[in-house]
Amino acid sequence: MAGPGKVLKPPTRPPKGLRKAKLETPAAASPAVGEPTATPVAAALVPLARAGGAPAAPAPKPTRAARPRSASRRKFLNDAFAIPAWLTFFSGTGLFLLGFIQRFMFPNVLYEPPTTFKAGFPGDYAVEEFSQKFKELYRVWIVREPTEIFALYAKCTHLGCTPNWMATEDKIKCPCHGSGYYRSGINFEGPTPRPLERVKVSLADDGQLLVDTSVHYQYELGQWSLPGSNLKYS
Ligand code: FES
């Protein structure tokens, strides 16, 4: 009993029996602050709504062992094709870049033999020799006659093929359309309209023959009588 003048304070803690009862109450039965309080009817409808098609909880992720075999095979095939594809792509790109750099960093130079060369001493050639020594590299024959030496340019005057020296027939024959030339270079058969051309020949300081393939002499223009079209020899 409280005495007079003594103010009774409300108990700060519920009695022991009540506390236990509250702890044993399920959480669903005591909604959090702010949540709507579920009425008994609503609580009864919740299981029905779930059974009627409410979104199910996400299925647990299958473990590696539980994964389907076809999926693993598909992944393997994807990897197997992806690596060569990337390799091809990168190598192709690399080659393209190399070509690009090579094209623009280095000049597009055509390496050709010099137009002037020494062909040895006149005495190195026997009289009436038709030398093919320089045909491969300079496209020139050196022809030694009893009184002169000249250099014939081995280019057919029909369409530009390289003719052949036929030693047994003592003539020059073009393999393309059959034009024929004497050893002097004068044409005598086939479709070619004119003789072969001669190139400049002179004596170098050391006494060797000096041939210049950039200077040509044409018979039909009367140029075979010019100095340089031949070298008089006795
Ligand atoms: S190119 Fe020599 S005959 Fe035609």
Check residue 233 and give its pLDDT: 72
Let me know: does 123 contact 149? Beta carbons within 8 Å: no
Rounded CA-CA distance 209/142 in Å is 10
In a domain, 204, yes or no: yes
User: In this structure, are 206 and 233 located in the same domain?
Assistant: yes
Pick from 192, 196, 197 the residue to mutate for probing ligand 1's pocket: most ligand atoms within 8 Å of its CB: 192
Residue type, 107: P
HSE-CB at 84 with a 13 A cutoff on CA atoms is 4
User: In this structure, are 209 and 230 located in the same domain?
Assistant: yes
**Is a pLDDT exceeding 90 seen at residue 10?**
no
Find tokens 């602050």 and name the residue: 33
In a domain, 179, yes or no: yes
Instruction: Domain count for the chain, please give it.
Output: 2
In a domain, 102, yes or no: no
Q: Which residues line ligand 1 (CB under 6 A)?
A: 156, 158-161, 174, 176-179, 190-192
In a domain, 25, yes or no: no
User: In this structure, are 234 and 164 located in the same domain?
Assistant: no
In a domain, 171, yes or no: yes
In a domain, 92, yes or no: no
Check residue 135 and give its pLDDT: 96
Q: Is the pTM of this model over 0.85?
A: no
Q: For residue 158, how far is its CA from the centre of ligand 1 (angstroms)?
A: 5
Output the CA torsion sign for 31, 35, 41, 45: negative
In a domain, 49, yes or no: no
In a domain, 228, yes or no: yes
Check residue 57 and give its pLDDT: 60
- Domain extent at residue 224: 114-155+197-234
| Residue bearing the bigger pLDDT, 47 or 81 | 81
Q: For residue 10, how far is its CA from the centre of ligand 1 (angstroms)?
A: 130
